[in-house]
Amino acid sequence: MNYNILAPAEPLRTSVRLPASKSISNRVLILNALSYSAYEVQNTAECDDTEVMLRALQSNDIHFDIRAAGTAMRFLTAFLSKIVGEWTITGTERMKNRPIKILVDALNSLGARIEYMEKTGYPPLRIYGSALQGGEVSLPGNVSSQYISALLMIAPLTEKGLVLHLEGTVISRPYIRMTLQLMEEFGVKAEWNGRTIRVKPREYTPVPFTVESDWSAASYWYEIAALSKGSEIELPGLLRKSTQGDSAGALLFNRLGVGTTYTPHGVLLKSNGNTCKKLVYDFVNEPDLAQTFVVTCVFMDIPFRFTGLQTLKIKETDRIEALKTEMRKLGYVLKDASDSILEWDGERCTPEADPVIATYEDHRMAMAFAPAALKLPGGIRIADPEVVTKSYPKYWADLKSGGFRIVESGTLNDES
């Protein structure tokens, strides 16, 4: 199934209730379980990744299929390694080709026993859960922060605690800080000095917790505001002082002509037309925003050079290659270098006559490309639009409430 996204005739005037933060939800669910809390986490994200996590934590099963949920794979691998029993965990074919060796090696060095059921270094895994000794472990600082967060969350419940050394450049720092801040809310304070994080043995304290709205989801509405002059978009539930690193997107979008006003209820976005001539930015701390800014800049005709994208190669798809491929369909030539740099200098090519944007089982491909309908007279066609359920199930409904039309491929009537 494909969707054809057609832009509203007028600038947007809308209010959108965003989903809760997936990043916070999945961390808090693990911490809540580790604290043996009687409280139910409030306002968890209504998305595939969080539903998988909830189902796993509430299940009495010993076999877990987390489908395409990378966060759940990393966090549950660590969690199950300290829960007494024998467990298996698997996922989609893409998940079976996403590396997990670094995390497995680290856990095994701390006393876990985890085996590969098929290909060495990749899921599915067989986990023999038991008490963990803990100790010291070193990880490259440029690996996925989810590996680091997975280790940190179980660290206080090991016999010796954890001394974690991060080697080289440390990426995605905001996600590590988020984990540490949430751990502190559950009564465990870690020490992060330089490239070393120390977590002493300590039990978590159960606390009631309500999850805030998702700044990553907000980025698509910022993109819409940037591409739709005169628009005004209210996003309730966002916090100025957020634990989410992607809240940095508000400042960056200011350079693309979108102003942010913080209100008692959330934020108000207004396009102001004050744009930069070229956007140069290091996304090492906000890699999930890269697709949004690539599409926004191209359709605002703003050249860019984005660095710090090394983790994009191991996301739901190779996002660097996916962006190059899909942008070429639309007539734009992007160039990459060093597996971590993506840039556009204004180079164009002949677009396909009737392009369909492939989404590669990647929710952010669908959501980042859809707003391009604002700049394409015939709209934009998105393949496999249901992928948005991974993080933002109501995305298409929210677009329609804002005035977009969504037509299923092969039909003449509006889907609504």
Quick: pLDDT tens for 58-87. 999 999 999 989 999 999 999 999 999 999
3-class SS at 42?
strand
- The pLDDT value recorded for residue 411 is 41
- The pLDDT value recorded for residue 415 is 40
Same fold, 2-19+214-408 and 22-199: yes
Considering 48, 49, 214, 288, which one is annotated as catalytic?
288
CATH assignment, 22-199: 3.65.10.10
CATH assignment, 2-19+214-408: 3.65.10.10
Instruction: State yes or no: cis peptide before 124, omega within 30 of 0.
Output: yes
Handedness of CA 166, 171, 173, 174 (dihedral sign): negative
- The pLDDT value recorded for residue 135 is 98
Report residue 141 as tokens. 């600082």
Between CA 201 and CA 297 the distance in angstroms is: 47
Cβ atoms within 10 Å of 46's Cβ, excluding its own: 16
Pairing of β 13-15 and β 405-408: unpaired
Q: Which residue ranges make up each domain of the chain?
A: 2-19+214-408, 22-199
- In 3D space, the residue among 181, 266, 179 whose CA is nearest the CA of residue 217 turns out to be 266
- Active site annotation includes 339: no
Residues of the chain short of pLDDT 70, as ranges, are 410-416
Give the predicted TM-score (pTM) of the model: 0.81
Between CA 253 and CA 271 the distance in angstroms is: 10
- The pLDDT value recorded for residue 314 is 72
- The pLDDT value recorded for residue 410 is 54
- The pLDDT value recorded for residue 273 is 83
CB 126 within 8 A of CB 117: yes
Between CA 408 and CA 4 the distance in angstroms is: 6
Q: Residue 16 burial (CB < 10 Å; 0-12/13-18/19+)?
A: buried
User: Which residue shows structure tokens 């605690």?
Assistant: 161
Show Cβ contacts of residue 348 under 8 Å, excluding neighbours closer than 6 positions: 331, 332, 333
Angstrom distances, CA of residue 301 to CA of 210, 334, 375: 40, 13, 11
Quick: pLDDT tens for 271-325. 888 999 999 999 998 999 999 999 999 999 999 999 999 988 777 779 999 999 9
Between CA 172 and CA 287 the distance in angstroms is: 8
